């Protein structure tokens, strides 16, 4: 089966990414303080009252060639829109999907995390899942902006924001604190920053969502 995207990352760099995340968490989260954010913060009742009988949360913990977005799309596709709600939680390795283009370029996200842009076939210097050119993704409607327009509820992990911005702060020549502030200010509009991705998945299930692993 043809991959949704031409992802050049293999298991070795992915394992390296997991190792760096674990190390950063061990070193930096003992005194964890949530990053300040101008994005919409999650209230205690997030994701709120979800409409419809059909509800599913896609737990996106890795970019996985864009498949978490495809899983949201394929859940929505056969269901009655008036009776359906999809929730997408972007955590761990999938968190950068929540960031605007400027952050991808400035912090070298594609190069650092081995994320390939299907348009250029090179490490992504912009968010390849947000407002891509027609035909770049296998299905245009899996783009994040289109899913948001269809009412998909999207949460992004604040722990991943804090850890990953600290990891890549040196790429932009800024402090960890400045990187965290800048990332928080550049979350794509319509996405809610949740305290942690696992918290978000749990709250979505409490709100009646079935679970789908995004990978």
DSSP string, 178-208: HHHHHHHHTBPTTEEEES-HHHHHHHHHHTT
Extended beta strands in the chain, E state: 40-41, 54-60, 84-90, 116-117, 122-123, 153-157, 191-194, 210-213
Tens digits of per-residue pLDDT, 135-177?
999 999 999 999 999 999 999 999 999 999 999 999 999 999 9
Give the separation between CA 97 and CA 60, rounded to whole angstroms.
10
Among the ranges 3-7, 20-24, 27-31, 96-100, which has the highest mean pLDDT value?
96-100
Between residues 35 and 214, which one has the greater pLDDT?
214
- Which residues, 6 or more positions from 86, have their beta carbon under 8 angstroms from its beta carbon? 55, 56, 57, 58, 72, 75, 76, 147, 151, 152, 153
Q: Residue range 173-200: average pLDDT?
A: 97
Structural tokens at position 188: 């794509």
Q: Is the pLDDT of residue 24 over 90?
A: no
When mean pLDDT is compared across 30-44, 49-63, 122-136, 191-205, the lowest value belongs to: 30-44
Helices 11-28, 158-172: crossing angle, 10 deg rounding: 100
CATH number of 11-213: 3.40.1260.10
DSSP state of 99: B
Can you give the pTM of this predicted structure? 0.84
Interatomic CA distance for residues 157 and 197, integer angstroms: 4
Mean pLDDT of the 113-141 span:
97
* pLDDT level of residue 47 (50, 70, 90 thresholds): very high
The average confidence (pLDDT) of the chain is: 87
- Is residue 59 within 8 A of residue 214, CB to CB? The reply is yes
| pLDDT exceeds 60 at position 6 | no
The residues pairing with 54 across neighbouring beta strands, listed in sequence order, are 84
Which has the closest alpha carbon to 117: 98, 100, 130?
130
CA pair distance 46, 153, nearest whole angstrom: 10
Residue 3 structure tokens = 């991959």
**In percent, how much of the chain has pLDDT > 90?**
79
For 90, list phi and psi in degrees, rounded to 5.
-100, 110
Q: Above 80 in pLDDT, residue 66?
A: yes
For β-strands 122-123 and 40-41, DSSP reports them as unpaired
Residue 69: strand, helix, or coil: helix
């Amino acid at each position: 089966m043809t991959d949704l995207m031409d992802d050049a990352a293999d298991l070795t760099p992915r394992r390296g990414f997991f190792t760096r995340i674990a190390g950063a968490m061990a070193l930096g989260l003992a005194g964890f303080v949530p990053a300040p954010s101008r994005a919409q913060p999650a209230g205690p009742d997030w994701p709120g009252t979800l409409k419809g009988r059909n509800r599913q949360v896609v737990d996106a913990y890795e970019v996985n060639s864009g498949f978490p977005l495809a899983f949201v799309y394929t859940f929505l596709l056969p269901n009655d829109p008036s009776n359906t709600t999809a929730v997408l939680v972007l955590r761990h390795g999938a968190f950068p999907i929540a960031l605007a283009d400027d952050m991808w370029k400035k912090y070298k996200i594609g190069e650092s995390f081995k994320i390939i842009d299907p348009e250029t076939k090179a490490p992504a210097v912009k968010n390849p899942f947000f407002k891509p050119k027609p035909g770049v993704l296998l299905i245009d409607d899996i783009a994040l902006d289109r899913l948001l327009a269809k009412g998909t509820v999207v949460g992004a992990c604040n722990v991943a924001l804090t850890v990953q911005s600290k990891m890549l702060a040196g790429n932009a020549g800024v402090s960890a604190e400045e990187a965290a502030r800048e990332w928080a200010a550049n979350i794509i509009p319509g996405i809610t920053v949740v305290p942690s991705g696992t918290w978000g998945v749990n709250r979505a299930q409490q709100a009646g969502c079935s679970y789908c692993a995004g990978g």
